[in-house]
């Protein structure tokens, strides 16, 4: 069952998950701010990831690099020369699009036979030759691909558009040094590889994890938080021996680890996930193999996580550009080499979006009067639900009930994010919690004052059970 993106966007705003950025000034295209429940959801996803991949492992450490880095980092990594998309402008309505995306979408919607394809035109939008501007222009003209906004078929030739945000460091106007906002967190790890080796007891194989903001001046951002210009990533660089066979095996083994994490720790539905291997013609220049974890978003399958076997590309490049020796000395074999690296890279912003889409549900049920009603219920996994317990005194004028409820809030909120709500009819309070995905509502009633028990209502089944206060835990 899919709910439209418009439904998710409206609910996310109504229930304080995500607001349009700078809204009182008319907004800023595709910028989003997380609200009180959105930020709890994000913290829970981050915690689930850190616990599973860093805290519970002996072969992983974390770090947090600066967003602003020496510009040479981006020359070495290839981002200055190669991190660009082909940009085309519609001459009629000035709409800006990515040539490769226009072609991909055209091919997805139309059946193109080989006969239709002239010698000079390729069918596979992802083939390496498809990346040349001449071929892209040829395709767009040959198949009269229309502007998605105005329908015209008159556009500029594709031109390279670098996706990095440039800014200036320095206090004197015009004399500052050009620097970039990082387009990925990964390079912060590579440039600290030697620091970590020298200052910790980590030995290969081991991994370094990081979570943080990245910035890309995307030509076609959109689909709510799917493609935005400021987003967060959760990346790991796992360093291995310089052995291609072992690297490819490690890449293969990530399939289960990755899928299981999304399903078991974040609660994403199994049938909405798929694992896709990049064909040889689709690989980034530095990758010997790439697998994506994709989610079935309302507008189609989209990447949630990429796992790339980056070989020794990055460390070699940084050795070349920095002049520093980043080789590893194996303490057992005495071998000296530049380690290879496999990179599982998860989008945190996309994970938040996916968790919201996956959890959102509308359900018809019969109320206590026997009438049919519909409730909105966010079925978040209890690991990531923004609020774990709602504490609801049935009658707010009953001093004893309030005393028990306040005492319970004080105790439980030391361990979990809880909410105290004493306003309105109890049914309405349950609905409010259902909408933000609180797994358990605890109601304090007259019987609580007599025997120290409370009722716990399960969000999904709506069943209530009576338990002793001391027994409550997640």
User: Based on CB atoms, which residue is closest to ligand GAP, 310 or 457?
Assistant: 310
**Longest pairwise C-alpha distance within the chain:** 85
Q: How many CA atoms lie within 13 A of 308 on its CB side?
A: 19
Question: Quick one: which of 40, 85, 100, 235 contacts ligand GAP (CB under 6 A)?
Answer: 235
Question: Quick one: which of 77, 136, 317, 349 contacts ligand GAP (CB under 6 A)?
Answer: 349
**Residues 6 or more apart whose Cβ sits within 8 Å of residue 458:** 439, 440, 464, 465
401 interacts with ligand GAP by CB under 6 A? no
The Cα 76–Cα 268 span in angstroms is 37
Determine the Cα angle at 417 with ends 411 and 419, to 5°: 80
456 interacts with ligand GAP by CB under 6 A? no
Shortest Cβ distance from residue 472 to ligand GAP (Å)? 36
Number of residues counted as binding ligand GAP (CB under 6 A): 18
294 interacts with ligand GAP by CB under 6 A? no
30 interacts with ligand GAP by CB under 6 A? no
Question: Quick one: which of 104, 105, 157, 218 contacts ligand GAP (CB under 6 A)?
Answer: 218
Question: Quick one: which of 303, 361, 422, 435 contacts ligand GAP (CB under 6 A)?
Answer: 303
305 interacts with ligand GAP by CB under 6 A? yes
User: Based on CB atoms, which residue is closest to ligand GAP, 230 or 422?
Assistant: 230
Pick the piece of the chain touching ligand GAP (CB under 6 A) from 103-111, 266-274, 346-354, 355-363: 346-354
User: Based on CB atoms, which residue is closest to ligand GAP, 183 or 386?
Assistant: 183
Contact (Cβ atoms closer than 8 angstroms) between residue 127 and residue 281 = yes
342 interacts with ligand GAP by CB under 6 A? no
Token couple for 461: 């089944």
Shortest Cβ distance from residue 19 to ligand GAP (Å)? 17
User: Based on CB atoms, which residue is closest to ligand GAP, 145 or 308?
Assistant: 308
Site string for ligand GAP, 181-210 (x = CB under 6 A): ---x-x------------------------
Question: Quick one: which of 15, 155, 350, 381 contacts ligand GAP (CB under 6 A)?
Answer: 350
User: Based on CB atoms, which residue is closest to ligand GAP, 145 or 307?
Assistant: 307
Pick the piece of the chain touching ligand GAP (CB under 6 A) from 68-76, 195-203, 341-349, 380-388: 341-349
Provide the binding-site residues for ligand GAP, judged by CB under 6 A: 184, 186, 216, 218, 227-228, 231, 233, 235, 303-306, 343, 345, 347, 349-350
């Amino acid at each position: 069952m899919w709910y439209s993106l418009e439904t998710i966007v409206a609910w996310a705003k109504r229930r304080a998950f995500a607001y349009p950025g700078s809204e009182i000034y008319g907004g800023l295209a595709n910028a989003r701010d997380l609200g009180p429940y959105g930020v709890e959801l994000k913290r829970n996803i981050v915690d689930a990831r850190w616990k599973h991949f860093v805290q519970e492992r002996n072969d992983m450490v974390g770090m947090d690099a600066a967003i602003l880095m020496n510009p040479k980092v981006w020359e070495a990594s290839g981002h200055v020369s190669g991190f660009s998309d082909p940009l085309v402008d519609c001459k009629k309505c000035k709409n800006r699009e990515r040539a490769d995306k226009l072609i991909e979408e055209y091919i997805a919607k139309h059946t193109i036979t080989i006969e239709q394809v002239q010698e000079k035109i390729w069918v596979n939008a992802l083939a390496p030759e498809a990346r040349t501007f001449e071929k892209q222009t040829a395709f767009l003209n040959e198949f009269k691909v229309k502007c998605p906004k105005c329908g015209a078929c008159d556009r500029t030739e594709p031109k390279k558009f670098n996706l990095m945000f440039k800014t200036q460091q320095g206090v004197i106007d015009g004399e500052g040094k050009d620097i970039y906002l990082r387009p990925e967190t990964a390079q912060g790890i590579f440039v600290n590889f030697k620091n970590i080796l020298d200052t910790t007891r980590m030995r290969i194989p081991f991994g370094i994890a990081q979570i943080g903001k990245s910035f890309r001046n995307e030509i076609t951002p959109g689909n709510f938080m799917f493609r935005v210009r400021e987003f967060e990533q959760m990346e790991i660089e796992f360093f291995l021996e310089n052995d291609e066979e072992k690297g490819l095996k490690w890449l293969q083994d990530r399939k289960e680890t990755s899928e299981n994490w999304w399903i078991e720790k974040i609660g994403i539905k199994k049938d909405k996930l798929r694992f896709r291997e990049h064909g040889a013609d689709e690989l980034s220049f530095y990758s010997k193999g790439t697998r994506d974890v994709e989610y079935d978003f309302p507008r189609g399958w989209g990447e949630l996580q990429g796992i790339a076997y980056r070989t020794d590309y990055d460390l070699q490049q940084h050795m070349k550009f920095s002049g520093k020796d980043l080789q590893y000395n194996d303490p057992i074999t005495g071998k000296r080499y530049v380690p290879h690296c496999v990179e599982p890279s998860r989008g945190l912003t996309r994970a938040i979006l996916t968790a919201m889409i996956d959890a959102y549900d509308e359900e018809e049920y019969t109320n206590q009067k026997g009438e049919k009603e519909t409730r909105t219920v966010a079925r978040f996994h209890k690991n990531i639900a923004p609020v774990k317990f709602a504490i609801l005194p049935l009658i707010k004028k009953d001093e004893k009930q309030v005393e028990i409820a306040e005492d319970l809030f004080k105790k439980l909120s030391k361990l979990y994010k809880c909410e105290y709500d004493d306003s309105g009819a109890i049914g309405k309070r349950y609905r409010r919690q259902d909408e933000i995905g609180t797994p358990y509502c605890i109601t304090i009633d007259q019987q609580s004052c007599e025997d120290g028990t409370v009722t716990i209502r399960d969000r999904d089944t709506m069943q209530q059970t009576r338990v002793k206060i001391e027994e409550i835990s997640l």
